[in-house]
């Protein structure tokens, strides 16, 4: 286990009340664990901003009947094949497909791929979930 340090924090009563309300809603057992997660979240954002090697998932929902759409999505994924770890495709119903693409590599390339996929005409929903390689986090 890593070395724990205690420190005290001063903040406005109202801010603390709202923080406690939020972490209670999110089922945190104590403020320390909630604060750790907030710090980790911020460090992950920093990893992405600094273009470090990160991981993430891109989720897409689209109608596969849309002319040229599937070809465009496939062409883009081939263009970025070096950062794509795995792709899962689910046929949600007669028309709609859900695709989850797991990506790992330099943050800017992951961002680029997600933006390009989302921008393809006919994509109904596109989302990039920023995760981390986990190496810099405790």
Report the distance separating Cα 132 and Cα 40, nearest Å.
Answer: 10
Q: Could you say whether residue 124 binds Ni ion (CB under 5 A)?
A: no
* Contact window for Ni ion (CB under 5 A) among 30-38, 73-81, 97-105, 115-123: 97-105
Phi (first) and psi of residue 49, to 5 degrees: -65, -35
User: Interface with Ni ion includes 97 (CB under 5 A)?
Assistant: yes
Quick one: which segment of 10-18, 23-31, 90-98, 129-137 binds Ni ion (CB under 5 A)? 90-98
The stretch among 40-48, 71-79, 83-91, 110-118 that binds Ni ion (CB under 5 A) is 83-91
Beta-carbon count within 10 A of 17 CB: 10
Q: Is 65 in the site for Ni ion (CB under 5 A)?
A: no
Contact 103, 83 (CB under 8 A): yes
Helices 13-25 and 31-49, packing angle to 10 deg: 90
The answer to the question of residue 91 lying near Ni ion (CB under 5 A) is yes
Minimum CB distance to Ni ion, residue 90 (Å): 7
């Amino acid at each position: 286990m890593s070395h724990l340090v205690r420190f005290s924090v001063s903040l406005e009563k109202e801010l603390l009340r709202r923080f406690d309300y939020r972490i209670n809603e999110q089922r945190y057992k104590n403020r320390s664990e909630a604060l750790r997660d907030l710090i980790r979240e911020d460090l992950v954002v920093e990893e992405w901003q600094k273009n470090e090697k990160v991981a993430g998932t891109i989720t897409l929902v689209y109608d596969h009947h849309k002319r040229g759409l599937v070809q465009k999505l496939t062409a883009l994924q081939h263009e970025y094949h070096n950062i794509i770890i795995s792709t899962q495709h689910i046929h949600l119903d007669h028309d709609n497909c859900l695709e989850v693409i797991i990506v790992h590599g330099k943050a800017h390339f992951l961002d680029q791929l997600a933006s390009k996929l989302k921008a393809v005409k006919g994509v109904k929903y596109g989302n990039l979930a920023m995760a981390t390689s986990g190496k810099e986090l405790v």
